[in-house]
Amino acid sequence: MNYVSTRDKSVKVTAAQAISQGISTEGGLFVPDTFKVFTAEDFKKMSAMSYIERAKYVLSNFLNDFTAEEIDYCVKGAYTGSFDEEQPAPLADIGDGINMLELWHGPTCAFKDLALQLLPYLLTTSAKKVSKGKKIVILVATSGDTGKAALEGFCDVPDTEIIVFYPSEGVSPMQKLQMASQKGENVYVCAIKGNFDDAQTGVKKIFTDNAVKEKLAQNNMQFSSANSINWGRLAPQIVYYISAYCDLVNQGKDVSRGFNVVVPTGNFGNILAAYYAKKMGVPIGKLICASNANNVLTDFINKGVYNRNRDFYTTVSPSMDILISSNLERMLFELSGNDDKAVAKMQSDLAKSGMFTVSEDIKAKIDELFWGGCCDDTATLETIGKVFREKNYLCDTHTAVALNVYEQYKKETGDNRTTVIASTASPYKFAKSVLDAVSDKKADTEFDNVRLLSDVTKTQAPAPIKALENAVVRFEGEIEKETMLDSVFGALKIK
């Protein structure tokens, strides 16, 4: 297998090239040209394995130019010691056939760790193969969780620099503190005046600017991306859906009619990984796409029209405050039967007019695969309170959106199959909102919120959150979005 660009299939590269480059030169995203389909025998084997062994089994199908030793080194390095349980992605059964896939037991308490603990290994191994000696410069635009997870993953990794841009008013206080206090000699964090889409658009522009690329090359540097446009982010996410299926089987759950997956969605990376797992043979039924008030994807799934020309809302689930879902491009490539011309046209329509419409054929496939729903902040907080009271399960604001949309789905369709809900962050990352949802008590500071939440719910805050209270802020201030490039050159100390 090889990787091709979603906008030009004649561009063919290996895994190492796709991962070290991040994005194709004409702006398309790299996707595998074929997918392994696992047999019953494969699943039986994987069911008996540890998470690390499962990850190696799955990833060896994607890392076509990595040796078995390299894959072993990368996967073991990523998942040994960095997660607070034997099992990095455990399932919690909360009754009514609902299994929470808890993806927040890593160092930054959000699901991004599952991919971003591994990406630095994949990237540095790739770079050794394809761009010997060049320093890798990671540029990240973040709506909160990616930034910290990437900083943590790349912190002091030799021959890398990492620069993170986040919208100054678009992240939670805890997320901001996590990033602003990041340690490491090779890290740089910058708040911009604007929203996530501004940050993402700015980063994409810097990435695809040939003059900038040239200047980096003169300094023996090369850009890469830790955003989910990088295939190295997506592949590790496929693993946990496959692993979840093995766990359901091991636990004797009813998967005779398959199981549904619900994903709180922003950039469409996580739910796309679930789709790929389905394509690789996991018996997933509906892919339920849950959005907050920024419901551009709900409308897209229901109407077949993607239209970003709408108000942007800052919500209590900030990691989903996104109007341009980058990874939808990969889904469109799938849905169109790998039609690169059609994808390129839709993406250029999106860039020009902020919208595109899919063909009837694609719309029919969307109806078959997906169900889309959304809820606002009030419903999100009500859901946190209800689930805590009725099931004694405390979830974060993003996961609550998924739980709420799942209830809507069940009510409308009556489909009560076994279900996996992606639980994407620790409730303590959004302590104030979660506390408001379960109690009338009020606290003054963010860490008082954490303590109060712990008292009220009789749950423990994760150690990395507690440790933040004494962290020293290293990065302050904010910049205009037009000056992002200056910040990049400043951080890299080049003119």
Ligand X SMILES: *Cc1c(COP(=O)(O)O)cnc(C)c1O
Residue (112 or 363) nearer to ligand X, CB: 112
Binding to ligand X by CB under 6 A, coded x per residue (else -) over 315-344, reads ----xx------------------------
Shortest distance, position 145 Cβ to ligand X, whole Å: 3
How would you list the strands of the sheet with 91-93, edge to edge?
91-93, 98-102, 419-423, 259-264, 284-291, 370-374
- Residues ≥6 apart with Cβ < 8 Å to 6: 24, 28, 29, 30, 31, 329, 330, 332, 333, 340, 343, 344
Among the candidate windows 267-275, 379-387, 447-455, 465-473, which touches ligand X by CB under 6 A? 267-275
Specify burial of residue 273 (Cβ count, 10 A radius: 0-12, 13-18, 19+). buried
Residue (265 or 449) nearer to ligand X, CB: 265
Shortest distance, position 146 Cβ to ligand X, whole Å: 6
Q: Rounded distance, CA 137 to CA 293, Å? A: 34
Q: Is 264 in the site for ligand X (CB under 6 A)?
A: yes
Q: Which of 267, 315, 347, 449 binds ligand X (CB under 6 A)?
A: 267
Q: Which of 398, 435, 464, 491 binds ligand X (CB under 6 A)?
A: 398
Q: Is 462 in the site for ligand X (CB under 6 A)?
A: no
If you write DSSP's letter for every residue of 91-134 in order, what string do you get? EEE-STTEEEEE---STTSBTHHHHHTTHHHHHHHHHHHHSTTP
Residue (13 or 103) nearer to ligand X, CB: 103
Tokens 């309170």 sit on residue: 385
Among the candidate windows 47-55, 182-190, 261-269, 470-478, which touches ligand X by CB under 6 A? 261-269
The answer to whether residues 5 and 29 touch, using CB atoms and an 8 Å cutoff, is yes
Shortest distance, position 80 Cβ to ligand X, whole Å: 23
Count of positions on this chain that bind ligand X (CB under 6 A): 16
- Binders of ligand X in range 64-123 (CB under 6 A): 110, 112
Among the candidate windows 6-14, 187-195, 258-266, 465-473, which touches ligand X by CB under 6 A? 258-266
- Residues ≥6 apart with Cβ < 8 Å to 393: 92, 94, 100, 387
Shortest distance, position 233 Cβ to ligand X, whole Å: 9
Q: Rounded distance, CA 263 to CA 82, Å? A: 24
Tell me which of 112, 148, 278, 363 is the catalytic residue.
112
Q: Which of 30, 207, 268, 406 binds ligand X (CB under 6 A)?
A: 268
Shortest distance, position 490 Cβ to ligand X, whole Å: 27
Q: Enter the DSSP assignment of 268.
A: S
Q: Which of 70, 102, 113, 145 binds ligand X (CB under 6 A)?
A: 145
- Binders of ligand X in range 280-319 (CB under 6 A): 319
Among the candidate windows 189-197, 264-272, 308-316, 379-387, which touches ligand X by CB under 6 A? 264-272
Shortest distance, position 227 Cβ to ligand X, whole Å: 9
Q: Rounded distance, CA 11 to CA 23, Å? A: 11
Cα–Cα distances in angstroms (integers) from residue 282 to residues 203, 286, 420, 492, in the given order: 35, 12, 13, 44
Annotated catalytic, 112?
yes
Q: Which of 224, 225, 418, 424 binds ligand X (CB under 6 A)?
A: 424
Long-range CB contact pairs, 9-15, < 8 A, 24+: 9/33, 9/338, 9/340, 14/64, 14/65, 14/130, 15/62, 15/63, 15/64, 15/65, 15/66, 15/126, 15/231
Shortest distance, position 437 Cβ to ligand X, whole Å: 16
Q: Is 270 in the site for ligand X (CB under 6 A)?
A: yes
Strand 355-357 versus strand 478-480 pairing type: unpaired
Q: Enter the DSSP assignment of 472.
A: P
How would you list the strands of the sheet with 478-480, edge to edge?
221-225, 135-141, 160-167, 187-193, 478-480
Q: Which of 32, 153, 266, 285 binds ligand X (CB under 6 A)?
A: 266
Cα–Cα distances in angstroms (integers) from residue 60 to residues 16, 39, 144, 236, in the given order: 13, 16, 30, 11
Shortest distance, position 110 Cβ to ligand X, whole Å: 4
- Binders of ligand X in range 219-238 (CB under 6 A): 228
Among the candidate windows 122-130, 262-270, 354-362, 412-420, which touches ligand X by CB under 6 A? 262-270
Q: Is 181 in the site for ligand X (CB under 6 A)?
A: no
Q: Which of 28, 269, 285, 373 binds ligand X (CB under 6 A)?
A: 269
Q: Rounded distance, CA 321 to CA 329, Å? A: 18
Residue (145 or 247) nearer to ligand X, CB: 145
Among the candidate windows 14-22, 266-274, 456-464, 479-487, which touches ligand X by CB under 6 A? 266-274
The answer to whether residues 19 and 123 touch, using CB atoms and an 8 Å cutoff, is yes
Q: Is 427 in the site for ligand X (CB under 6 A)?
A: no
Is the Cα dihedral 206, 208, 213, 215 positive or negative? negative
Residues that bind ligand X (CB under 6 A): 110, 112, 145, 228, 264-270, 319-320, 398, 424-425
- Catalytic residue set: 112
